[in-house]
Amino acid sequence: MTPNYSVLFWFRRDLRLHDQLAMAAALNSGATHLVGVISFPVQIIPLADPGLPLVC
């Protein structure tokens, strides 16, 4: 039976893909899903309406 699990990959500083050794390891781990996550400081996200939620 093949394991069914997900891997969460947190982009810490940028969205580069070509030299992400940890992402390569995650992709080769046998996980059925890879979920990429990145968070930006509020100061660098221009908001048209300050009342809009930051979660997309």
Dist CA 10 CA 20 (whole Å): 11
The whole-angstrom separation of Cα 22 and Cα 11 is 10
9: three-class secondary structure by DSSP: strand
| pLDDT of the chain, 56 residues: tens digit per residue | 567 889 998 887 777 778 888 888 988 988 899 998 887 776 666 655 666 665 54
Range of the domain at 39: 1-56
pTM of the model as a whole: 0.57
Domain count, the chain: 1
How would you classify residue 30: left for phi > 0, otherwise alpha for psi between -120 and 50, otherwise beta? left
